[in-house]
Amino acid sequence: MSSPVKLAIVYYSATGIISAIADEIAQAAEKAGAEVRLRKAAELAPQAAIDANPLWAANASATAGIPNATPEDLEWADAVIFGSPTRFGNIASQLKQFIDTLGGLWAQGKLADKVYSGFTSSATNHGGQESTLLALYNSIHHFGGIIVSPGYTDEAKLADGNPYGTSHVDGQGSNPVNDTTRAAARVQGERVVKIATRLKAGLAAA
């Protein structure tokens, strides 16, 4: 029997929306048989800025026990799902800073041939969700990674409406993660595990 897929979920969340989606993906992936590491990108913002926003401060407290991501988490993983809120149509600087620490692994070819996917949120409709995921995937091409998007492979994705990855409109914190987003997150987690399992089995047999 082959070993389970090792999945690293690496995300940045300020006010908790991305944290909630990450939790949903992690639970779905574990139910699908994966071994999951849930990791957050280290915070770069000053404490004063965090304390000034009640939602930001609450999320920082709620996720204090989640380890910060390290390059070793990606070396360990067979599959990686990145999550970030939209920042001007791109990923947050906290997640970008973590990705920028991966040059050593990249140079050794240790980021290649893994499955990758992504999820995001924005404050408004059409607020850069798709461009954020496409920007994230630019880095995956440089890794030599295998992008596994959810596409419209399940009816839940027709409701969610984003084939590039799970996304949510949070309305400046007024719209918590809902059933539609949670269903889409489960589809993404299950699909990544399924494809990574097949890939791992194929490589083992080669």
Please give the average per-residue pLDDT across 31-60, as a whole number.
96
Helix (H, G, I), strand (E, B) or coil at 125: coil
pLDDT at residue 46 is higher than 80: yes
Please give the average per-residue pLDDT across 88-97, as a whole number.
97
pLDDT band of residue 202 (cuts 50, 70, 90) is confident
pLDDT at residue 140 is higher than 60: yes
What is the pTM for the complete model shown? 0.96
pLDDT at residue 97 is higher than 60: yes
Q: CA-CA distance, 81 to 205, in Å (whole number)? A: 25
Q: CA-CA distance, 120 to 96, in Å (whole number)? A: 14
Q: Which residues contact 142 (CB under 8 A, 6 or more apart)?
A: 106
Nearest Cα residue to 113 out of 195, 183, 24: 195
Q: What is the pLDDT of residue 205?
A: 64
Please give the average per-residue pLDDT across 196-202, as a whole number.
92
Please give the average per-residue pLDDT across 6-33, as a whole number.
97
Angle (deg, nearest 10), helices 17-31 and 179-205 = 50
Q: Tell me the pLDDT tens digit for each residue of 144-153.
A: 999 999 999 9
Q: What is the pLDDT of residue 171?
A: 87
Please give the average per-residue pLDDT across 5-11, as a whole number.
98
pLDDT at residue 206 is higher than 80: no
Q: CA-CA distance, 50 to 69, in Å (whole number)? A: 20
pLDDT at residue 1 is higher than 60: no
- CA-based end-to-end distance of the chain: 16
Q: Tell me the pLDDT tens digit for each residue of 171-194.
A: 888 899 999 999 999 999 999 999
Please give the average per-residue pLDDT across 65-93, as a whole number.
98
Please give the average per-residue pLDDT across 125-151, as a whole number.
97
Phi, psi dihedrals of residue 98, rounded to the nearest 5°: -65, -45
For the chain, what is the mean pLDDT? 95
